[in-house]
Amino acid sequence: MSKFDYDVAVIGGGAVGACTARELSRYDLHICLLEKEEDVCSGTSKANSAIVHAGYDAENGSLKAKFNLEGNKMMEGLSKELDFEFIQNGSLVLCFAQEDMPALKKLYEKGINNGVEGLELLSGDQIREMEPNISQQVYAGLYAPTGGIVCPFGLTIAMAENACTNGVEFRFSEEVKKVEKMDEGYALFTSSGEVKARYVVNAAGVYADVYHNMVSGRQIHITPRKGEYCLLDKEGGKLVSHTIFQLPGKYGKGVLVSPTVHGNLLLGPTAVDINDKENTATTEPGLADVIEKSGISVKNIPLRQTITSFAGLRAHEDGDDFIIGEPEDAEGFFDAAGIESPGLTAAPAIGKYLAQAIAEKAGAKEKKEFCQTRKGIPRVASLSHKERAKLIQENPLYGTIICRCEEISEGEIVDAIKRPLGAKSLDGIKRRVRAGMGRCQAGFCTPKTMEILERETGIPMENICKNRDGSQMLTGRK
C-alpha cells in the first residue's frame, strides 16, 4: 500500500491550478486539488481584465513572454474543445504624443522579438477609422490582431470540470495550513486533516510565496497588487470593438477599455500595491482614477450605465516574472508563483508545462481513456427560436426565465447545480450561467435562485451562502 494519499496535490483552484489539474488528468496519476473556498475561480482568477494578451509587452526571454505566447496560441482551440467563450477581437495600444513614439516602437520591437504575429504601427487617423470613439488626442498606436477576450469564469470552470471528469478529486473549503518536506514527497496539513503527496503544485495566487517559503530556503516575496474596475451595461458594450490599452507604465499596462465576451464594457484596472492579501474592497479614489484615465483613451463613455465595480489582486513577485518549476532545494515541489498579468493568457501553457514535467518525473503514462472535450451549459438567450423550442420540449425548465436581465432560465440554473463540480452557492451559479450579473445585479432573481438551490441540493434556505461559509443570505426562517 502506498504511503501517499495522492501522486499529485494541486494547491489552488484558480485558472493555473485548474489548467494544471486538467493537463495532469491526461496521465495515469492519482490527483487532488485543494481549494480553501467553496468553488474554483474564487480568487485572483475571478476579478481580472479577462484579456488574452498578444504578448508584445513581456520582457524578451522572460517566462512571461514564453508562456504568454504559447497560451495565446492555445486559446482558440481550447475554447472549442471545452466550450467556453473566447473572441479574438485584437488590441490597440494608444500613444498620445509624438515624443512617446520611441516607447511605442520599442513595444513593437519587443513584440516582434517575442514572436507575436501581425503587429502593426498605425497613425492616429488609421486607429480612428477602426474605432470611431477613440480620442482625438491619439497620435499613433500599436495594433495586435492576435489579442483577444475570454470569460475567466468560463475558462477556469471548463478546465476544472474536464479535470473532474477525468478523475481529479476536488476538495473544496479545505485550506492548506502548512506544507512539510518528508524523506520523499510532502505532507500538507489542511483545515480538514493531513494529505501526503509525492508531488505538489503550488498555484496559490497571492499566497504562493507562503507555501514556497515553507519548503525552500530560497525565499520569494509576493505583493498583492490591487486593480479596481468598473463594469458597464450591455448598452455600452459596442462603444469599442477592440481592447484599448494605453502605453505601459511602471505598474503595468494602464487603464484599459474593452468589450467583454458577454457584451458589456469593462474599464480598469488601477495598480496599487497593498499588504493585505484579502483586501478586494473598491475605493472612491481608485474608481475615480479608472473613470478619469479611461476617458483619455475613449470619448463618450456612458458612465451612467455602470452596473457594478469590483477589485481583484494580482500576485506580483519581487523578481517581476513568473516562477515556474522546482526550486533547487525542494525537489517534487512545483511552483506556479508570481502569476500576474498575463497570467490568465499563460495559464493553459503553464498547466501543460507543469503536467509534462511531473509526468516525466513520475514516469506516468498517458491514459488511453482521457476525455478531451467538455460541453458547456446551453445558453437559451443565444439560441434560435427553433433551437429554443426543441430544448424546452425536451426540458420545460428551459422555458422559465429566472434572471430577466441576462435571460437565464431555470434549466440553466439547474444544469449549473447538477453538472460536475456543480454550484453550491449563489456566486457559483452566477459564475456558471451569469444569473445575477446583469443590470439589476441579482436584485430580482436572488429569491427564486435560492429556492432552486434549496430544492436541487437539499441545502436549507438559511444555510445558502453567497460564496464562502459565513456569507449566508438569511438569518433563519419562520
Contacts of 54 (CB under 8 A, 6+ apart): 72, 91, 111, 116, 119, 144, 145, 146, 147
The pLDDT value recorded for residue 250 is: 53
Q: Which of 262, 285, 314 is the last residue of a domain?
A: 314
Considering the domain architecture, whether residues 141 and 230 belong to the same structural domain is answered as yes
pLDDT category at 253 given cuts 50, 70, 90 is: low
Number of folded domains that form the chain: 2
Q: What is the pTM of this model?
A: 0.97
The pLDDT value recorded for residue 478 is: 60
Considering the domain architecture, whether residues 299 and 427 belong to the same structural domain is answered as no
Q: Which of 314, 340, 365 is the last residue of a domain?
A: 314
pLDDT category at 219 given cuts 50, 70, 90 is: very high
Say if residue 384's pLDDT is above 90. yes
Single-letter amino acid code for the residue at 362: A
Considering the domain architecture, whether residues 309 and 398 belong to the same structural domain is answered as no
Contacts of 275 (CB under 8 A, 6+ apart): 223, 224
- The answer to whether residue 110 sits within a structural domain is yes
Say if residue 170's pLDDT is above 70. yes
Say if residue 249's pLDDT is above 70. no
Considering the domain architecture, whether residues 309 and 404 belong to the same structural domain is answered as no
Considering the domain architecture, whether residues 138 and 254 belong to the same structural domain is answered as yes
Q: Which of 264, 282, 314 is the last residue of a domain?
A: 314
The pLDDT value recorded for residue 7 is: 98
- The answer to whether residue 453 sits within a structural domain is yes
- The answer to whether residue 48 sits within a structural domain is no
Say if residue 373's pLDDT is above 70. yes
The pLDDT value recorded for residue 2 is: 75
Considering the domain architecture, whether residues 302 and 387 belong to the same structural domain is answered as no
Query: Which tens digits make up the pLDDT trace of 178-199?
Result: 999 999 999 999 999 999 999 9
- The answer to whether residue 79 sits within a structural domain is no
Say if residue 285's pLDDT is above 90. yes
C-alpha cell at 275: 499588504
3-state secondary structure of 141: strand
Query: Which tens digits make up the pLDDT trace of 83-127?
Result: 999 999 999 999 999 999 999 999 999 999 999 999 999 999 999
- The answer to whether residue 104 sits within a structural domain is yes
**Percent share of the chain, pLDDT over 70:** 98
Considering the domain architecture, whether residues 228 and 140 belong to the same structural domain is answered as yes
Q: How far apart are CA 72 and CA 180, in angstroms?
A: 35
State the chain's mean pLDDT as an integer.
Answer: 96
Considering the domain architecture, whether residues 111 and 231 belong to the same structural domain is answered as yes
Query: Which tens digits make up the pLDDT trace of 321-355?
Result: 999 999 999 999 999 999 999 999 999 999 999 99
Considering the domain architecture, whether residues 129 and 266 belong to the same structural domain is answered as yes
Single-letter amino acid code for the residue at 18: A
Considering the domain architecture, whether residues 111 and 253 belong to the same structural domain is answered as yes
Q: How far apart are CA 23 and CA 198, in angstroms?
A: 17
Q: List the CATH number of the domain containing 306.
A: 3.30.9.10
- The answer to whether residue 265 sits within a structural domain is yes
Q: What average pLDDT does this structure show over 303-322?
A: 97
Q: Strand 120-123 and strand 140-144: pairing?
A: antiparallel
pLDDT category at 1 given cuts 50, 70, 90 is: very low
Considering the domain architecture, whether residues 239 and 386 belong to the same structural domain is answered as no
pLDDT category at 257 given cuts 50, 70, 90 is: very high
Query: Which tens digits make up the pLDDT trace of 46-65?
Result: 999 999 999 999 999 999 99
CA distances from 19 to 23, 143, 186 (A): 6, 29, 22
- The answer to whether residue 145 sits within a structural domain is yes
Q: What average pLDDT does this structure show over 266-290?
A: 97
- The answer to whether residue 338 sits within a structural domain is no
- Report whether 340 contacts 53 (CB < 8 A): no
- Its domain, for residue 388, covers 380-463
Give the active site residues. 53
Considering the domain architecture, whether residues 138 and 239 belong to the same structural domain is answered as yes
- The HSE-up count of residue 292 (CA atoms within 13 Å, CB side) is 7
The pLDDT value recorded for residue 93 is: 97
